[in-house]
Amino acid sequence: MAPKITKSLKAKLTRAGLPLLEQPKPLDFDEPHQKYHLASGEQVYGATTYTSLIPKDLFSWVASVTRRGMHYDAIKKSAGRVGTATHHHLHRRTTGVKGSESFSCTHEEAQQINVATKNADSFWDSHKDKLFPIACEAQLVSEKHKFGGTLDLVAIDEEGSVVLIDYKTSGKIYDVFFYQQSAYVNLWAERYPSFPIDKVILVRIGKKKPEDVETETRLASTLTRYWDVFLKLLALGRELEAHKNERTK
């Protein structure tokens, strides 16, 4: 069932500056990483910089690739390229871009991107008629807490709820992802207080085998503890950065 978008809701969205659905630029793997700035011009870090302070269970994986003679940094970079291409593909689908796009990558990356985008299409095709997108790849900055973040998709569902959808091309759903989601929920609330996020849907898109899509939905109200921890991570990250700067003086 398609979401009911009334004239009054459309007017309210317009007043808030929504929908925010710009089509993506051509994919460029060498494009510099997104930088976030406060209104004053001060640069701040993204939410993932702080959530990375919480370790995922990657130690056994690093040991495994090392034993096979593979370099961790190279594998991580390649995985990032596959993730970027998959997000780009979903951005194109969401904003109605037609046709195909070519870009340079390794044969192994091409295989994984092919699988991941087909899995992504499977998710989007089964959900697109139930969602009314209001923001895609929205780059937001918190003036209050001084961090930034890019939200994959915010939409209104058939129940009238505002939903944050976050795509991950990981092997599993890690609990640490929800610290990031709590940060995004609060980023959005600060920028668009009249449209607070009600639900978060984490979509894990497999890149190695077909029909490997996993979703986990949580009410935004249940992420309070994650947000409390994220605020502590913000403080810790800034303290570590200050300490690093003092040592390099």
pLDDT digits (tens, 9 = 90+) for 173-228: 999 999 999 999 999 999 999 999 999 999 999 999 999 999 999 999 999 999 99
For 124-145, write each residue's pLDDT tens digit. Answer: 999 999 999 999 999 999 999 9
Given a cut of 60, whether residue 111 has pLDDT beyond it is yes
Say how many CA atoms lie within 13 Å of 26 toward its Cβ.
7
Sign of CA dihedral 21, 25, 26, 29: negative
**What was the pLDDT predicted at 55?**
73
**Domain 7-24+33-247: CATH class, spelled out:** alpha beta
Candidates 72, 180, 194, 203; CA nearest to 131 is 203
Q: Are 79 and 107 in contact (CB under 8 A)?
A: no
Q: What is the mean pLDDT of residues 7-31?
A: 94
Task: Name which of 114, 127, 128 is nearest 210 in CA terms.
Answer: 114
Give the Cα separation of 178 and 167 in Å (integer).
12
The residue-averaged pLDDT of 84-108 equals 93
Q: Which of 150, 101, 153, 151 is nearest to 127 (CA)?
A: 153
Please report, as a single letter, which amino acid is at residue 242.
A
CA distance 170 to 168: 6
Which residue carries 């913000």 as its tokens?
234
Kindly report the number of other CB atoms within 10 A of residue 207's CB atom: 24
Tell me the pLDDT band of 242, cut-offs 50, 70 and 90.
confident
Give per-residue burial for 166-195: e unless 16+ CB within 10 Å, then b: bbbbbeeebebbbbbbbbbbbbbeebbeeb
For the entire predicted model, the pTM comes to 0.91
Q: Please check whether residue 16 is in contact with residue 68, taking contact to mean a CB–CB distance below 8 angstroms.
A: no
Closest C-alpha among 141, 190, 191, 188 to residue 166: 188
pLDDT tops 80 at residue 106: yes
Which residues have CB under 8 Å from 204's CB, separation 6+? 168, 169, 170, 172, 173, 213, 214, 215, 216
Structure tokens at 34: 């997104």
Indicate the domain borders of the chain. 7-24+33-247
Secondary structure of residue 147 in the 3-state scheme: strand
